[in-house]
Amino acid sequence: MLKTFKKGGVHPDERKISAGKSIEILPLPKRVAVPTTQHIGAPAKPLVKKGDIVKTGQLIAASGGFVSANIHSPVSGKVFKTDEVVDASGYRKPAIIIDTEGDEWDESIDRSDKLVKEIALSGEEIIKKTGEMGIVGMGGATFPTHVKLSPPPGKKCEILLINGVECEPYLTSDHRIMLEKSEELMVGIRILMKALKVNRAVIGIENNKPDAIGKLTNLAAKEDGIEVQPLKVKYPQGGEKQLIDAITGRQVPSGKLPIEVGAVVHNVGTTFAVYEAIQKNKPLIERVVTVTGPGITQPSNFLVRIGTPVGQLIEAAGGLPDNMGKVIGGGPMMGKALVNLDVPVTKGSSGILVLPHEEAHRAPVENCIRCSKCISACPMGLEPYLLMIEAEKELWDRAENDNIMDCIECGSCSFTCPAHRPLLDYIRLGKGKVGQIIRNRN
């Protein structure tokens, strides 16, 4: 019996149609738009102005605080302007727009493919460097990695979990990294273990990726303290708290961070980025993005520079189908529809999903029949139907008592609702309002 998390969860169709496609390098875009907020926390402060010449990998925006991240130029060329662009969140954000000229990299970056196994830096130096290189969580939440590597005083990390679950349907970018960059991944895990001063790391992978499980298990056998844990397929296993529950059986208390139960979770994409940052001196300027969907003729996994417009990725994967309904940034469960094709790829973009018209649209909303399917599906043990009503009626104090802030926005409730109620829409609204009330109180 394979391990999985205890509460709730749903089983959407997997549809990993791009799983067999190896990572291709996308040609350089003519112009990139690099938002200064690609992470959770304070926006980065731009260091370049219009007309400046930048090299690939040069620091162009400095971290705006402890919980923030540096941003480096993904291309070489001339800064066209700093302006606001609509990003994947649907809001206008300040961004640095650069016109590409050639591809001249910063000299300090090692661009060779050679595997560097020796870890020269000490734990503190590793944490400092991940901050300098602008590494953030690449599973989608984009939490700055150096913050996660610095546990608060009095807390000790006992186990490092590497998230290779990729529970979202369609997405395969992490899967491909595990297959193609497995040796680098092992070194990356060693680096994280050194920074966190732990001697045990577990890679959690869902059972629908047997090739990745096989390859990493073979490699892990040679390493000390690293093991692979196959997991039963269930959404949202890639959620931090769900993964901790699945692997260790520990449950993170409400409102607390995973460090409370001695665990730290990093995505495989992040682990690979940490390897490149520490061993190759390469900042986070490119990432693997899956371009997929039923109408896409060549579903692919691309290695893309940050700031590339999503339209170019779709073009490279065969273009938009005729019956196109929605372009989604991320997976079908948690992703958000994009407002146009100029939206840039950011550090948190794991996939671009193109859905046909008939699959993309919401069914008409009907009345709640109190079937409690949403309650069974909620992996956090909440009552989504109640939270929705409370948000609708603006009963913020009651919503807070019903732990609305614990919601991880996985969308299992909306997915399972037979009346197609917009549960998550209202819960998100409630989370925003309650969060504001809590902040004002402190």
Partner 1 sequence: MSIVLITIMTLVGLGALAAVILYLASQKFKVFEDPRIDQVEEVLPAANCGGCGYPGCRAFAEALVKADDISDLNCPVGGPDVMAKVAEILGKEAGKSAPQVAVVRCNGTCEHRPRINQYEGASSCVVAAALYGGETGCSYGCYGLGDCVEACDFDAMYMDEETGLPVVIEDNCVACGACVDACPRDIIELRKKGPKSRRIYVNCVNQDKGAVARKACEVACIGCGKCVKVCPFDAITLENNLAYIHDDKCKLCRKCVAECPTNSILEINFPPRKNKPAAKEAATEKTEEESK
Any contact of residue 219 with partner 1 (CB under 8 A)?
no
Q: Which residues pair with 198 in a beta bridge?
A: none
- Output 207 or 436, the one with its CB closest to partner 1: 436
CA–CA gap between residue 349 and residue 328 (Å, rounded) = 10
User: Could you say which residues in the range 332-351 bind partner 1, by CB under 8 A?
Assistant: 336-337, 339-340
Looking at the DSSP assignment, which residues form a beta bridge with residue 61?
Answer: 46, 71
- Pairing mode of beta strands 226-231, 263-267: unpaired
Question: Helix crossing, 123-132 with 268-280: angle to 10°?
Answer: 100
**Segment contacting partner 1 by CB under 8 A, of 87-95, 144-152, 278-286, 344-352:** 87-95
CB of 151 to partner 1, least distance (A): 32
Q: Please give the sequence-ordered ranges of beta strands (E in DSSP) within 127-242, or none if there are none.
A: 159-164, 201-206, 226-231
Closer to partner 1 by Cβ: residue 362 or 439: 362
Give all strands of the β-sheet with 45-46 in edge-to-edge order: 45-46, 59-62, 71-72
Are the CB atoms for 334 and 414 separated by under 8 Å?
Answer: no
Answer whether 178's CB lies under 8 Å from 165's CB: no
Nearest distance in Å: CB 337, partner 1: 7
92 binds partner 1 (CB under 8 A): yes
CB 365, min distance to partner 1, A: 8
Of residues 397 and 425, the one with the C-beta less far from partner 1 = 425
Q: How far is the CB of 360 from partner 1 (least distance, A)?
A: 9
Amino acid occupying residue 113? D
- Within 13 Å, how many C-alpha atoms sit on residue 9's CB side? 20
Query: CB count, 10 Å around CB of 295?
Result: 18
Q: Which of residues 16-75 bind partner 1 (CB under 8 A)?
A: none
Burial class of residue 122 in the structure, from the number of CB atoms within 10 Å of its CB (0-12 exposed, 13-18 middle, 19+ buried): exposed
Dihedral angle of Cα 400, 239, 283, 51, to the nearest 10 degrees:
-50
Q: Is 357 in the site for partner 1 (CB under 8 A)?
A: no
In this structure, the dihedral spanned by the alpha carbons of residues 178, 184, 190 and 192, taken in order and rounded to 10 degrees, is -70
Q: Which stretch binds partner 1 (CB under 8 A): 63-71, 134-142, 295-303, 361-369?
A: 361-369
- Output 321 or 422, the one with its CB closest to partner 1: 422
Q: 68: which 2 tokens? A: 């923030």
For the packed helices 123-132 and 182-196, what is the interaxial angle rounded to 10 degrees? 120
Closest contact distance (angstroms) between CB of 379 and partner 1 is 22
Residues 64-83 that bind partner 1 (CB under 8 A): none
Residue closer to partner 1 (CB basis): 84 or 103: 84
DSSP secondary structure of 103-153: -PBPTT---S--------S-HHHHHHHHHHTT-B-TTTT--BHHHHTSPPT
Q: Which residues contact 118 (CB under 8 A, 6 or more apart)?
A: none
Least distance from C-beta 392 to partner 1, angstroms? 8
Residues numbered 363 to 392 that lie near partner 1 (CB under 8 A) are: 365
Stretch of residues binding partner 1 (CB under 8 A), selected from 104-112, 272-280, 298-306, 359-367: 359-367
Given the complex with partner 1, which of 89 and 217 has the nearer CB atom? 89
Taking the complex as a whole, the smallest distance from the CB of residue 340 to partner 1 amounts, in Å, to: 6
Q: Which parts of 387-426 interact with partner 1 (CB under 8 A)? A: 422, 425-426
**Total residues contacting partner 1 (rule CB under 8 A)?**
19
Among 3, 64, 89, 376, binds partner 1 (CB under 8 A): 89
Nearer to partner 1, 213 or 327 (CB): 327
Task: Please state the closest distance from residue 417 (CB atom) to partner 1, in A.
Answer: 12
Find the part of the chain contacting partner 1 (CB under 8 A) among 15-23, 296-304, 400-408, 428-436.
428-436
Q: Which residues 236-255 are close enough to bind partner 1 by CB under 8 A?
A: none
Identity of the residue, 66 or 91, whose beta carbon is nearer to partner 1 in the bound complex: 91
Binding site for partner 1 (CB under 8 A): 84, 86, 89-92, 336-337, 339-340, 361-362, 365, 422, 425-426, 428-429, 432
